Chain A
Amino acid sequence: KQEVTQIPAALSVPEGENLVLNCSFTDSAIYNLQWFRQDPGKGLTSLLLIQSSQREQTSGRLNASLDKSSGRSTLYIAASQPGDSATYLCAVGTSGSRLTFGEGTQLTVNP
């Protein structure tokens, strides 16, 4: 059974700092990995999707990497802003389009 772990569970940083969120998974036989953002009381917003054949994806200030062999992914956020405050979820895609989610990292960026 695939298990996804996210570290740290919570993170508080000053505005402008570069930061890294970590995601690890137990079964390397994945099809893709997706990072989401969830604001309080809201739904999930897809940030980046990395296919299993890819090593990284970039969108604006966000960069996600994938190392299947070690079962790890990182989400790098450059020059953080207060508007980046949210919970970030990592989800691993396995057979049949199933996504297994981590418990999330709650990020607070202080002005």
Chain B
Amino acid sequence: DAGVIQSPRHEVTEMGQEVTLRCKPISGHNSLFWYRQTMMRGLELLIYFNNNVPIDDSGMPEDRFSAKMPNASFSTLKIQPSEPRDSAVYFCASSLFGGVSYNEQFFGPGTRLTVL
């Protein structure tokens, strides 16, 4: 298995532009997570999906952020309009959630976003 795939790996954009980050989870996994990592705040959970349905988006910082999961093999995180304070590394992770047993989360390589 190729693991969790994220694209692009690096993104540099100007303030006010729309940014779309993409994620392909591990095949067969039914949970998908979007995290943000910064020096100041460490790793923060933004949103997660179970079976393509958003379960908890309380970590999404503002209405400028939105996430979708149209099918089991694809998810997007969109920022519109982007601001310099959105600069961070964005990670996608997936896991197989099954009843009582919470399984390992596997992380993608991340997208390093720089907003100028």
Residues of A within 8 A of B (CB): 31-32, 34, 36, 42-46, 49, 51, 89, 91, 93, 96-104
Chain A contact surface mostly: strand
Taken together as a complex, chains A and B put the C-alpha atoms of A44 and B37 apart, in Å, by 11
Taken together as a complex, chains A and B put the C-alpha atoms of A98 and B43 apart, in Å, by 12
Q: Interface stretch among B14-22, B65-73, B75-83, B106-114? A: B106-114
Residues of B within 8 A of A (CB): 31, 33, 42-43, 45, 48, 50, 55-56, 91, 93, 95, 97, 101-110
Q: Are A96 and B55 in contact, CB atoms less than 8 angstroms apart?
A: yes
Point out the residue from B42, B45, B91 that lies within 8 Å of A104, measured CB to CB. Answer: B42
Q: Are B45 and A99 in contact, CB atoms less than 8 angstroms apart?
A: yes
Taken together as a complex, chains A and B put the C-alpha atoms of A32 and B22 apart, in Å, by 28
Q: Are A97 and B91 in contact, CB atoms less than 8 angstroms apart?
A: no
Q: A43-B109, A51-B102 are in contact. List 19 more A-B contacts (CB 8 A).
A: A34-B104, A36-B107, A43-B107, A44-B107, A46-B107, A49-B104, A51-B101, A91-B43, A93-B102, A96-B50, A96-B55, A96-B56, A97-B31, A97-B50, A97-B97, A97-B102, A97-B105, A98-B45, A99-B33
Those 8 A-B pairs whose CB atoms lie nearest each other, nearest first: A44-B107, A101-B43, A43-B109, A31-B102, A43-B107, A49-B104, A32-B102, A46-B104
What are 13 sample pairs from A and B whose C-beta atoms fall under 8 A apart?
Answer: A32-B102, A34-B105, A42-B109, A44-B107, A46-B104, A91-B105, A96-B50, A96-B56, A97-B33, A97-B48, A97-B102, A98-B56, A100-B45
Q: A43-B110, A98-B56 are in contact. Are A49 and B103 (CB under 8 A)?
A: yes
